[in-house]
Amino acid sequence: MKGCVKLEFIGLNQVKLLNAFAAKGITVKELSKVSQKSMTMWIPLSRKAEALELSEKYGFECSVKEERSAKKTFLGLLPRCGLIVGIISMIVVSIIVSRFVWKIEISGNDRVDELTILRTLKQNGISVGREKNFDRRFVEDALLALDEISAVSAEIVGTTLKVNVVESAVVTPSKQKGDIISLYDAEVTRIVVNSGTAKVKIGDRVPMGTVLIEGAEYDTEGNPLVVTDAQGDIFGKVNFTYTEVATTSGGYVRTGKVQKNTVIKFFGLNIGKTKEPDGKFEAQKTVTRLFSIFPLYAETTEYYELEKAEISLDELVRKTVDKAVSTLIIRAGGSAVSTTSNVAEVAENIYKITVHIEAEVSIGGKRID
């Protein structure tokens, strides 16, 4: 695995750190739980700084166990003098080529068509062949303008722009005339038409993009009378998927007790002593500048007391299912909910839980052409 780094993390609440990595879009490979407090993993070398920052935030000690990069590969080839000229030529070409984006990968989109995402990026000046001299937050802001997307993460790996989107649980239709189309692959269960003409009936299975209510009205013989703004609600059975990494044991939760310790720092001198409390705890540091002219700082450390949280696998799955339903269905006004779940052990006492949900939700949204 070139361009990767193997890190060891020592600390408590390992699942919290893994979920933080997932939220940031940091890819984790070959996760290995060495002991109750220690785990190792491979991550992209380009995300090393973010991983170190997250480990410090959640109170983990982090060390680099192994690093594989293009630089080290190059140094290993130097003794082979006969390859130097060829390598230099390849490097020159690679440097030129690596200045540009040659591939765009989209993930996380179920309802939003990939072509819509690519078209939106292109309208904002991001496409294959573009130099990589743009801020990834520009990509995120461009896609957040789409109503169906609630969160975006973007990163450039080599010459590939990787975009991960999180779709909105509730989609607000655009206020414009036109048809109402299906935002999901669904089975129609209820139809309410206020204006326009229903183009589906109860029991129909419709793919995403199907016209549900046409923005037109007809007479009894099927002749068009008027173009109108389609209004109404179409409900259907839709399948959702929710995934989370969680642990049954070895995790810790805060008891509510907090102990603070403040050290004043002035010209390299420390006034006060750092005293760690007994037992298990999480530490969080805050540095405040006390005077604008002189380097006088107050470093406050908050120690949050922890206690071990034991939970059975069945209870862990039940809580994950409840969270999935609350996140994806209840907030979206869904009903008639049924669930199934799959569990895969990724390390000792750490599980990947995937929840499959079928529910009745409003499936219609305005066509945007």
| Structure letter (DSSP) for residue 220 | T
Give the span between the Cα atoms of 209 and 301, in whole angstroms: 53
Mean pLDDT of the chain: 80
Instruction: Give CATH for domain 4-71.
Output: 3.30.70.260
Mean local confidence (pLDDT), 165-194: 75
Look at residue 175 in the predicted model and tell me its pLDDT.
39
Mean local confidence (pLDDT), 329-351: 80
Spell out the CATH class of 103-167. Answer: alpha beta
pTM exceeding 0.85: no
Give the span between the Cα atoms of 130 and 329, in whole angstroms: 39
Cβ–Cβ under 8 Å, residues 163 and 143: yes
Long-range contacts of residues 168-174, Cβ cutoff 8 Å, at least 24 apart:
169/327, 169/328, 169/331, 169/332, 170/331, 170/332, 170/333, 171/111, 171/147, 171/365, 172/147, 173/364, 173/365, 173/366, 174/147, 174/365, 174/366, 174/368
Look at residue 188 in the predicted model and tell me its pLDDT.
93
Map out the domains of the chain as residue ranges: 4-71, 103-167, 180-234, 241-249+310-366, 253-308
Query: What is the Rg, in whole angstroms, of the alpha carbon atoms belonging to the chain?
Result: 27
Q: Could you give the residue ranges of the DSSP H alpha helices within the chain? A: 14-24, 48-57, 70-77, 84-97, 114-123, 136-144, 313-325
Give the span between the Cα atoms of 94 and 85, in whole angstroms: 14
Residue 173 has pLDDT above 70, yes or no: no
Closest Cα to residue 236, out of 146, 73, 362, 82?
362
Mean local confidence (pLDDT), 2-7: 84
Residue 65 has pLDDT above 70, yes or no: yes
Which tokens in the block code for residue 291? 């005077």
Distance of CA 165 to the CA centre of its chain: 7
CA atoms within 13 A on the CB side of 68: 8
Q: How many CB atoms lie within 10 A of CB 257?
A: 13
Look at residue 190 in the predicted model and tell me its pLDDT.
92
Q: Model confidence over 35-47: pLDDT tens digits? A: 888 889 999 888 8
CA atoms within 13 A on the CB side of 303: 13
Residue 202 has pLDDT above 90, yes or no: yes
